Amino acid sequence: MVRVLTAGHVNWDVTLRVDRLPEPDGESRIDSQQASGGGSAANVAVALSNLAVDAELLGSVGDDEHGLLARRELEAADVDLGSLLVAEDAETTVKYLLVDQEGEVAVLGNDGANEAVSPDDVDPEAVRAADHVHLTSQRPDTAARIAEVAAEAGISVSFDPGRRLADRDFSDALADSDIVFLNDREARTVLEDEYTESAFADRTLVIKRGADGAVVHTPDATYEHPGFGIDPVDTTGAGDAFAAGFLSALLTTDDHERALERGNACGAITAAEEGARAAPSVEAVEAFLDEQF
């Protein structure tokens, strides 16, 4: 079985379904609310485990009730928590996700303990024990350290830096990444030139386009997939599910077209259900794809 180490944020999410996203001096109605684990690294780890990939999580939570609940959910999903730091006398990061009737999401959050892992806390042996390392948003120096250890050990690295890409210097981690995931907005932030002329031309670049699918640029070819027509309920975690589906396929088949199809299927299934942890099983993905053709 392929083993993937995912590194980055572990949160506790409070999802508020509202009639519309609030505007300045405006008011929105809360139709429902639910709480569960979240954070991109944790979401990807759970999604990979659902897809029959051996997943370990490198991240941090506080030693509070939210951290305990988050750990229990992850353990129930068979995610290895051997590299999860429990920060003493710290609060677990809580994110408030506002989801409108079209499934669009706005996020509020506190700093919390989700970046308590420093470069010195990274266990090189845990990194070297993986077949692949997947980085998500976290402290840039920590991401750089993990990527450095993986690169020196000849282990492939993927990086999905997320919405804070424009505000943080992830250049060192990006330099050691073999696969980079960006959405359209993030791609515009970092790519000023055509792909073939950019600093990303020697690696695989995956651009997520939401309902419009995704495109993959490799040094040798470009692949596109239009996505699947679904009615989104909650897009929270859909990008994480896409990354998990893409990686689970690519790491076992080395087929970029299959990886795109699986990634888009996982993203669509997740967006059609409530919550960031709606990523499907292998059987659910196959059943979904059978219905499309």
| pLDDT value at 69 more than 60 | yes
Least confident of 15-24, 96-105, 126-135: 96-105
**Active-site entry in 120, 121, 240, 290:** 240
**Which residues, at least 6 apart from 293, have a Cβ–Cβ distance to it below 8 Å?**
none
pLDDT in tens, 158-192: 999 987 777 889 999 999 999 999 988 777 766 65
| pLDDT value at 265 more than 50 | yes
- What local confidence, expressed as pLDDT, does residue 273 receive? 80
Give the domain extent around 57: 3-22+30-292
> What's the rounded mean pLDDT across residues 125-137?
97
- What local confidence, expressed as pLDDT, does residue 211 receive? 82
- Whole-model pTM: value is 0.91
pLDDT in tens, 242-251: 999 999 999 9
Least confident of 148-162, 195-209, 234-248: 195-209
Whole-number Å distance between alpha carbons of 117 and 133: 16
177 near 171, Cβ under 8 Å?
no
Regarding predicted confidence, which is higher, 130 or 219?
130
pLDDT in tens, 28-61: 999 988 899 999 999 999 999 999 999 999 999 9
The total number of structural domains in the chain stands at 1
- What local confidence, expressed as pLDDT, does residue 196 receive? 45
> What's the rounded mean pLDDT across residues 196-214?
79
Q: What's 188's domain CATH number?
A: 3.40.1190.20
> What's the rounded mean pLDDT across residues 49-75?
97
- What local confidence, expressed as pLDDT, does residue 146 receive? 98
Whole-number Å distance between alpha carbons of 264 and 163: 20
Active site (annotated) includes residue 54:
no
Regarding predicted confidence, which is higher, 195 or 97?
97
